Amino acid sequence: MPDPKIIAWLCHRRFGIGGDGLILLNKAKGYDFGMQYYNADGMESTMCGNGGRCIVAFADFLSLIKSQCIFSGVDGEHTGKIIAREGNCSHVMLSMKDVVDFQQLQGDFILDTGSPHLVRFAGDVMKIDVVAEGRNIRNHATFQPGGINVNFAQQEGEGLFVRTYERGVEDETLSCGTGVTASALAFSHISNKNEGVIPVRTRGGKLNVHLKKNGHGFSGIFLEGPAIQVFNGVIDLNDFNCSPNNPSF
């Protein structure tokens, strides 16, 4: 397992590369590859939906796959497909785990879409203090010891606008794939939309969630959207020893 301090350094937006997390593409018997995801705090985490789309695009960039793949994640098997390419942008379709059941708690929805999420619907999401409210819910005794990711969702036409507070990052992130998926499933339930595509806008861009209601749960769930390579390079991990973000410095 990589050193959590090194991962936190790599993800640091001032002293490292900067990112909401680190994804490792590993060998995995019986699969095209395995995906391992770490939050920005350096700790291994549960499934990352947008990270899943990115790792499919990365495997395609490395010529490890030919447009389609099957890979293993912490929550099980996923399929990925490159449905379009334009320059450094790949449009990726990613299968998500079935959601066999979900809970409603005082008007909120609790779902596990590979990571645990709470979805709360609101009238004007942009007016919400996502960091303060999200942190309060994430740390509530009800969701301990692991905590929960918190999504604030607002209906926009036939779709949603979603903002998310992510545990491990301990901040609002511009887009959360498993959170977008959870929000779309909750919206499908309250709007009686049993199957189809729900468009979701986040501060980081637009995604589509494909779904089919199956009893009290959902199957045939796919997360669709762009994955853009913005940089590639090499970093020497020995630099960690002289980083101001290294607690031992």
The tens digit of pLDDT for each residue in 160-189 reads 999 999 999 999 999 999 999 999 999 999
Name which of 163, 167, 162 is nearest 135 in CA terms.
167
Please write the tens of the pLDDT for every residue from 17-53. Answer: 999 999 999 999 999 999 999 999 999 999 999 999 9
* pLDDT reading at 244 higher than 70: no
4-94+229-242: CATH number = 3.10.310.10
Can 89 be counted among the known catalytic residues? Answer: no
4-94+229-242 and 103-225, same CATH topology:
yes
pLDDT in tens, 129-142: 999 999 999 999 99
Given the candidates 3.90.550.10, 3.40.50.2000, 3.10.310.10, 3.40.190.10, the CATH classification of the domain at 103-225 is: 3.10.310.10
Every domain of the chain and the residues it spans: 4-94+229-242, 103-225
pLDDT band for position 247 (50/70/90)?
low
Question: What pLDDT was estimated at residue 237?
Answer: 85
Confidence (pTM): 0.93
For 172, residues 6+ apart whose C-beta sits below 8 A from its C-beta are 130, 131, 134, 163, 164, 165, 166
pLDDT at 249: 43
Tens of pLDDT, residue by residue over 74-101, are 999 999 999 999 999 999 999 999 999 8
95 neighbors 80 (Cβ within 8 angstroms)? yes
Catalytic residue among 11, 89, 176, 242: 176
CA atoms of 77 and 94, how far apart (whole Å)? 11
Q: How far apart are the C-alpha atoms of 73 and 164, rounded to whole Å?
A: 22
Give residue 22's pLDDT.
96
**SS3 state at 47:** coil
What does the mean pLDDT of the chain come to? 94
Q: Is 48 a catalytic residue?
A: yes
